[in-house]
Structure 1
Amino acid sequence: MLASVVVGATTALVIGSVVNSVPANCVPVLVNGVTYQQCGSTWYQPQYIGTQVQYVVVAAPR
Structure 2
Amino acid sequence: MATAAAVTTAVAVTSAVIGSIVYSVPPSCVTSVVNGVAYQQCGSTWYEPQYAGTTVQYVVVNPPG
Q: Specify the TM-score bucket, using the shorter chain as the normaliser.
A: 0.7 to 0.9
Q: Give the equivalent residue in structure 1 for 2:36.
A: 33
TM-score between the two structures when normalised by the length of structure 1? 0.84
SS at structure 2 position matched to 1:47 = strand
1:19 aligned onto 2:22? yes
Structure 2 gap ranges (5+): 1-7
Structure index of larger Rg: 2
Structure 1 gap ranges (5+): none
TM-score between the two structures when normalised by the length of structure 2? 0.80
Q: 2:46 aligns with which of 17, 22, 43?
A: 43
After TM superposition, which residue ranges in structure 1, 4 or more long, deviate above 4 angstroms? none
Q: For 2:48, give the aligned amino acid.
A: Q
Give the aligned CA root-mean-square deviation in angstroms.
1.9
Aligned residues: 58
More strand per residue: 1
CA distance in 2, matches of 1:34, 1:50: 18
More helix per residue: 2
